[in-house]
Amino acid sequence: MQRTKIIETEVGTGTTVGSATSIGSATCVRLHNNTIGIVTVGIATQVGAPSALEFSMPGNSVEFLEKLPSEVIYTSTSIKASKVGFTN
């Protein structure tokens, strides 16, 4: 059985590429869309850089995102994000 290890406290995501964050240089991020609407998640190489990748996240859902420590994320509406790892 795989378990989630919380490494840092949950924070709100930035809503523009200028307010994007690496979530503590995380390589694995737990995203919690606690809104009822679909949220677009953008992943960029650095703060202010155009988004290289995007995906839609349904309302009231949780996703785990694997990324490089230097990559930053932002969302169309602020949602919760925390740096996590996995344990057995």
Q: What is the per-residue pLDDT across 48-79, written as a single tens digit (0 to 9) for each? A: 887 779 999 999 999 999 999 999 999 999 99
Which whole number is the average pLDDT over 17-34? 95
Check whether 81 has a pLDDT greater than 90: yes
All structural domains of the chain with their residue ranges: 26-82
Which whole number is the average pLDDT over 10-33? 95
Residue 42 burial by Cβ neighbours in a 10 Å radius (0-12, 13-18, 19+): buried
The rounded mean pLDDT for the chain is: 93
Contact between residue 66 and residue 41 where contact means Cβ atoms under 8 Å apart = no
